Amino acid sequence: MTHTRYAFVKANWHSDIVDRALDGFQELIPAAQIDVYDVPGAFEMPLLARDLAQTGQYAAIACAAFVVDGGIYRHDFVAQAVVDGLMRAGMDSGVPVLSVSLTPHHYQETDHHNAIYRAHFVEKGREAAQAALGIIRTRAALSQAA
């Protein structure tokens, strides 16, 4: 069965930046083919990605979050856990789960940094769509060759 639907999971933390990834994703994949899901933060993405993958409804799932150092915990540990969880969701389900989870080394809530990261998330969303389409093409070619 060929799937033409995609899931896009986005963290609400820093949504003014993170939502731009969906803009980039929609440059290559029509919005009508994308189901969008919001989660509170990055840490909640792997569980939802796994659940969505297990439905069998999606050709690929993209997950976007902006993990910054809030001074309370080490954000790099959270980012690593999120990326590991997303990879596991994809490996366990067989559905491509793509990460647009960025963890900048230096981020300050200034107009300048916000503008930079908004633009960067558009590009990363576009790259996630390219990756989704590419892996789907490759897997289809492999299944036809078998």
- Per DSSP, the residues of the chain read -----EEEEEESTTHHHHHHHHHHHTTTS-GGGEEEEEESSGGGHHHHHHHHHHTT--SEEEEEEE----SSS-HHHHHHHHHHHHHHHHHHHSS-EEEEEE--SS---SHHHHHHHHHHHHHHHHHHHHHHHHHHHHHHHHHHH-
Active site residue 74: yes
Per the residue annotation, which of 20, 50, 74, 118 is the catalytic one? 74
* Residues labelled as active-site residues: 74
